[in-house]
Amino acid sequence: METSSRVLGEEHPDTLTSMANLASTYRDQGRWKEAEELEVQVIGMRKRVLGEEHPSTLTSMANLASTYRNQGRWKEAEELFMQVMETRKRVLGEEHPVTLTSMANLASTYRDQWRWKEAEELFVQVIETRKRVLGDEHPSTLTSMANLASTFWNQGRWKEAEELEVQVMETRKRVLGEEHPFTLTSIANLASTYSDQGRWKEAEELFMQVMETRKRVLGSEHPSTLASIADLASTYRNQERWKEAEELEVQVIETR
């Protein structure tokens, strides 16, 4: 970034891209303050150099909104996501993939605030459009379906959540393969839905499957593997199978 700034100038598009990339690296590490400072700087310069409606400017705004959202700063995130969505609708059209991503981001922000009705309406709209534009089996379509399932799950609407989760899981198995991380996440989500209904046997079978696959694919000490072990331990604990639960919980604690 320093080299780009010195050679090309602070407002050169390549310099701004480097700054945006560094901000994303900070955000991925949870270094919110550093990410935010850079993102605000990039937005200001891109607005001045490229214009308020340029795709790169809007991407920067969406990135800052994500940084706010990850900190639970819902109001600020919502305002930015709304602004980006409305501009993309006007500039790119309502069915453009990037516009749909903006809608999904706003829906997720509603869900994070437990504003279920607003989240559900947007997620349904995104799903229907993505199915029509991208197809039923496109990864983005499946992600939208998983998000809607999560919205149902958080409201205790188990039947609706389960139906969507099964559909997403089966499609991901077929399209991505049984050992793909997204497929395993889908299986774990369905297992959680079973667990929350007290369907311990079904939950246990799925959690076991996810755990074993993650151990084989990611390794025993990977955070996702440990999360699976903790999920299985919780299922044992809910059945008062104390010894089995304890063994797994100790394993997780010692590894972490």
- Write the pLDDT tens digit of every residue in 88-129: 999 999 999 999 999 999 999 999 999 999 999 999 999 999
Q: Do domains 1-21+30-135 and 156-256 have the same CATH topology?
A: yes
Per-domain residue ranges for the chain? 1-21+30-135, 156-256
Q: Residue 1 has what pLDDT? A: 53
Query: Distance from CA of residue 89 to its chain's centroid?
Result: 22
Domain 1-21+30-135 has CATH 3.40.50.2300: no
Cα–Cα–Cα angle for 130, 39, 47, rounded to 5 degrees = 80
C-alpha–C-alpha distance, residues 37 and 9, integer Å: 19
CA angle (219 as vertex; 192, 210 as ends), nearest 5? 25
pLDDT of residue 7: 45
d(CA 144, CA 172): 13
As given in the structure block, the two tokens for residue 227 are 């999360």
Q: Which two tokens stand for residue 59?
A: 């991407």
In sequence order, what are the residues at sequence separation of 6 or more whose Cβ sits closer than 8 angstroms to the Cβ of residue 19? 1, 38, 41, 42
Q: How far apart are CA 163 and CA 222, in angstroms?
A: 29
Residue 181 has pLDDT above 80, yes or no: yes
Q: What is the pLDDT of residues 119-163, one digit of tens each?
A: 999 999 999 999 999 999 999 999 999 999 999 999 999 999 999
Q: Which DSSP string corresponds to 172-217?
A: HHHHH-TTSHHHHHHHHHHHHHHHHTT-HHHHHHHHHHHHHHHHHH
Structure tokens at 254: 């010692």
Answering whether pTM is above 0.85, one says: yes
pLDDT given at position 256 = 80
Q: Give the Cβ contact number of residue 185 at 10 Å.
A: 16
Q: Determine the CATH number of domain 156-256.
A: 1.25.40.10
